[in-house]
Structure 1
Amino acid sequence: MLNITGDKLRGHLEMMVLSSLKQGEAHGLEIVKRLEAAGSGALKLKEGSLYPALYRLEQAGYVKAQWEGESSGRRGARRRLYNLTAKGKRKLTQGQQEWTEFVTVMSNILGVPVWKN
C-alpha cells in the first residue's frame, strides 16, 4: 500500500486542509483525522506539519481561527477552531481546477488513464 508522508505532501497540504474545512469547523486533530480517513489509510499526517500550514492559511485570509468557547463544557486545554472563509472557498475551487489540469497532464505524460468518480 502507498504510504503518503512528508515530501509527498509538500505543496499539497494547504489545499488538503482547505478541502477538509469544507466539511465544517474543526480543530487540528480533527483535521488530521478527516484527512487520514479521506486518504483511506495511505495518508500519514503529523500535527506538527499541520499547524504551520494552518498558520499560513490564516495569514493569507483563507481560514479564520478562534479559541473554543468556555461554553463548550470541555475540560482541559482550549482548542483552536478553524473555519473556511469565503476567500478560502474561492482558493479551494481554484486549487481543485488546477489539480484536475495537473492530473490530466501527468496522466498523459506517464501514459496512465485518468480515473473519474
Structure 2
Amino acid sequence: MKADAVRGHLDGLLLAVLEPGPLHGYAIITAVQRRSAGALELRTGTVYPALNRLERLGLLRSTWDSVGERRRRCYELTDAGRRALAEERTAWRAFTEAIGAVLNPADARPGHAS
C-alpha cells in the first residue's frame, strides 16, 4: 500500500495500537503491520516524530523501560489520548461513508442523491 495512504490517519493508527496498553516504538510499528495483515509498513522516521508530537500534545505519555542493558521508551495513552482516539474513529467512519457513497453509488441509501 502506498505510504500516502496513511497520511492524515497516522495519529489514529498510533493511538489505536496503544489502546490495549503501553508499547515501545518498534512494537508499535509491528502492531500496525500485524493488524493491517502486512498492508501498512510504517517507517521509524515517520513513527518516532509522530509519537513525540502526540506526547507533546498530551495524548501520550512515555516512560523508559530497561530490557537487559537496553533502554527503550514505552508509550501509553492518556485520558486525552483516549478521547482523541474516539474522535478519530468517529471521523474515520464519516470519511469512509462519504468515500463509499461516491465510489459505490449503488450502495447508497434510498432517498439520498447519487
Normalization by structure 1: what TM-score? 0.85
Aligned partner (choices 77, 90, 93) of residue 84 of structure 1: 77
Question: Which structure carries more strand by proportion?
Answer: 2
Aligned partner (choices 50, 55, 58) of residue 58 of structure 1: 55
1:25-80: per-residue Cα shift (whole Å, max 9, x none)?
Answer: 00000001110000011111111210011011001100001111xxx5x2233000
The DSSP-based 3-state class of the residue aligned with 1:30 is helix
Indicate the larger mover: 99-108 or 5-14.
5-14
Unaligned residue ranges in structure 1 (runs of 5+): none
Code of the aligned partner of 2:62: A
Aligned residues: 107
The DSSP-based 3-state class of the residue aligned with 2:40 is coil
> Matched residues, percent identical?
36
Unaligned residue ranges in structure 2 (runs of 5+): 109-114
Aligned partner (choices 83, 99, 103) of residue 106 of structure 1: 99
User: In the TM superposition, what is the alpha-carbon distance from 1:6 to its structure 2 partner?
Assistant: 2.2
Distance 1:92 1:80 in 2: 21
Residue 42 (structure 2) aligns with: 45
Aligned partner (choices 15, 20, 29) of residue 17 of structure 2: 20
The DSSP-based 3-state class of the residue aligned with 1:79 is strand
Q: Quick check: which has more Rg, 1 or 2?
A: 2
Q: CA RMSD in A?
A: 1.6
User: In the TM superposition, what is the alpha-carbon distance from 1:23 to its structure 2 partner?
Assistant: 1.5
